[in-house]
Chain A
Amino acid sequence: MFKNVNAVELTIFVLLFVVVSAMGFFAARWRRADDLEHLDEWGLGGRNFGAWITWFLLGGDLYTAYTFVAVPALVFGAGAIGFFAVPYTIVVYPIVFLVLIRLWSVSHIHGFVTPADFVRARHGSSTLALLVAITGIVATMPYIALQLVGIEAVLKAMGVTGHVPIIVAFAILAAYTYSSGLRAPALIAFVKDALIYIVIIVAVIVIPYKLGGWDEIFGAAEKKFAASPNPGDGVVLAGPAQLQYATLAFGSALALFLYPHSITAVLASRDRNVIKRNMAALPAYSFILGLLALLGYMAIAAGVTPITNDAGKPDANTIVPLLFDNMFPSWFAGVAFAAIGIGALVPAAIMSIAAANLWTRNIYVEYINKDATPKQEARSSKLASLVVKVGALVAIIALDPQFSIDLQLIGGIIILQTLPAVALGLYTRWFHRWGLIAGWIAGMAVGFWTTFQIQQKVFNADGSITIAKEHFGGSGFPLSELGLDTTWSIYAGFLALLANLVVAVVATFVFRAIKVPEGVDATHPDEYFADQNDPRLKDLPEVVH
């Protein structure tokens, strides 16, 4: 388990990990509430986070450890297409700027904790709410599992193998999430983000200097892609990849704030201005992400070869840790590894809390214990957060990690199918509730079918093509599959969303024509603009339950 371990790196890593764990337990006392035995406290940190805490929390939440290893790995392997993470995180904030404040307002008035709570009240449909909740849980689970892949990549680079370290790390994480709730990741996020900023800024100054400048770095990348037989890679986008690049960025942006963990962090903020300010300030992380993506090219220039995994395939996720290992003195590489490792803890904690809240609010209270007290709700969520983490651990240890990667790919596509009910629902009640359900089914079907069809191809030097993976080989769906005479691809989630919307519209007309009841809208147009000091917030703490 500890062969060829770099002792300095490991010591620094463990030290920072211990500090952060202590903070996680201490967080229960931070901004102390009278009673943590309430979902608003455990699951939303008291709904009182200001601009700075929210910035760190959302940044720590959205820019995960997996992002930090997977984006450069994609750039390392395929070039420009991997840079989609930048336009993705540019367009997301202007898109959600106006949407999220509406969600915040109506949620504060009604005491909503999850997006499915909103859907239930808005569309008067517990079936639709259940679908949204299940979609959220299914999309989040593999995402948590992937955070483990991030930690594993770092451990591998330090020479630590085996599953014991990951089990220990997750057990500690589970323990302090259980006791401190959302306050734990909020506090740890400060350390995580500070470390990430330091590491990346040092990396983009030191590494290009050592490699002989950006000219060398991009030159090496160009040379690699020119020699590669794959027509899809390159330092700029191959022509047919442009539609995929744009739709992938746009579709991912639409999906990001539909994820339960993003909404949890947004609902935890104190008022509307906190959210608006954060939409302006969060792109600071996008800048870091852009620089990070370029580490993929630096790894090419530095001649990094990925570590081979248990299945005998090169694991591209190890390139960034290896690059740090090559380029930095051991102590700083240790800091960098800790940044990625701790970077996994923050989102994993928030995601498990968000999934647990969905379970409690939209399944447990809705179907199992209709008269649950706030205390029972909090207890249910705390237990569920443990179950979710154990599930993620088992998925990584017992199954091929590729399974989680595939699921996460689909996760982005399926969470997008809640857009009509949640995001459009914030603006209009025009859709019929059964129309939305029909649209969801259509979107899911198209999403699964398209990703199932996508093959992963390996282009051999002699011009032949090997199919490396028969199904779920990516998210770029070739339009030729639809009978179109083109080499262009499109993001599968985008296609699924279009199908969803078309069906939802048509079905709405149909259900209305045959006079199926519309359901009662428990919200009022006025409530979508309410702010913190609105008198109704205090009058109506528990309207929806």
Chain B
Amino acid sequence: MTTHQPDRPEERRNGVPGSTARAERSDHHPINWLLLLPLVITLFPPVYNSIDPTLLDVPFFYWYQMAAILVSVVITLVVYRKTRA
């Protein structure tokens, strides 16, 4: 594994016949920062650590976190769609 070409990966990749020609092969994408949002909304319990407001008799603590699951799914889906190969 010591004979790697010094050129940049994406240039080399494009030159390989039969490669999938997905040019910019890197995980960097600004939309990835969105993935921090689920952490921010769930890892600070003081934000949701209360009984009121209740939703259908369920305390805030519980329905907020269940709703956070949905938010997290939407965000992860968006990031997947924008970055899929």
Contact = CB atoms under 8 A, between A and B. Distances in A.
Given A215-B57, A236-B51, A524-B4, A86 B69 contact: yes
A94 B76 contact: yes
A90 B1 contact: no
Interface string B64-85: 0110110011011101100111
B62 A83 contact: yes
A97 B32 CA distance: 9
B37 to A, nearest CB: 8
A365 interface: no
Contact of A97 (B19, B76, B84): B76
Interface string A515-542: 0000000111110111101110000000
Contacts of A507: none
Nearest to B37: A94
Contacts of B79: 97, 276, 280
B80 A280 contact: yes
Contacts of A535: 16, 18-19
Interface in A258-317: 271-273, 276-277, 279-281, 283-284, 286-287, 290, 294
Contacts of A215: 57
A543 B45 contact: no
Nearest to A284: B73
How extensive is the interface on chain A, given as a class?
Answer: 35 or more
Interface stretch (A244-252, A341-349, A444-452): A244-252
> Which applies to chain A's interface (DSSP): helix, strand, loop or mixed?
helix
Contact of B69 (A102, A235, A237, A290): A290
Contact of B20 (A93, A522, A524, A531): A531
A529 B39 contact: no
A457 B25 CA distance: 54
Interface string B8-47: 0100100010111010011100001001111100111110
B28 to A, nearest CB: 10
A516 B65 CA distance: 48
A245 B62 contact: no
A502 interface: no
Nearest to B2: A520
B39 A95 contact: yes
Nearest to A80: B61
Contact of A214 (B38, B46, B51, B57): B57
Contact of A276 (B45, B49, B84): B84
A101 B50 CA distance: 37
B76 A86 contact: no
Nearest to A540: B1
Nearest to A290: B66
A545 to B, nearest CB: 13
A218 interface: yes
A90 B76 contact: no
A396 to B, nearest CB: 33
A272 B85 contact: yes
A516 to B, nearest CB: 22
A213 interface: yes
B69 A236 contact: no
A534 B61 CA distance: 47
Interface string A98-136: 100110000000000000000000000000000000000
Contacts of A522: 1
A534 B13 CA distance: 9
B45 A83 contact: no
Given A94-B39, A283-B69, A290-B66, A529 B45 contact: no
B85 A273 contact: yes
A357 B37 CA distance: 36
B1 A523 contact: yes
Nearest to A272: B85
Contacts of B73: 280-281, 283-284
Given A213-B57, A214-B57, A215-B57, A91 B1 contact: no
A489 to B, nearest CB: 13
A159 interface: no
Contacts of A525: 9
20 contacts: A86-B65, A90-B65, A90-B68, A91-B42, A91-B72, A94-B72, A214-B56, A235-B59, A237-B49, A242-B46, A249-B42, A272-B85, A273-B80, A276-B83, A280-B77, A287-B66, A524-B1, A528-B27, A530-B25, A531-B85
Interface of B: 1, 4, 9, 12, 16, 18-20, 22, 25-27, 32, 35-39, 42-46, 49-51, 56-59, 61-62, 65-66, 68-69, 72-73, 75-77, 79-80, 83-85
Given A90-B68, A98-B32, A249-B43, 16 more contacts: A90-B42, A94-B37, A95-B39, A98-B27, A214-B57, A236-B49, A236-B50, A236-B61, A237-B45, A242-B49, A276-B80, A276-B83, A280-B79, A286-B69, A534-B20, A535-B16
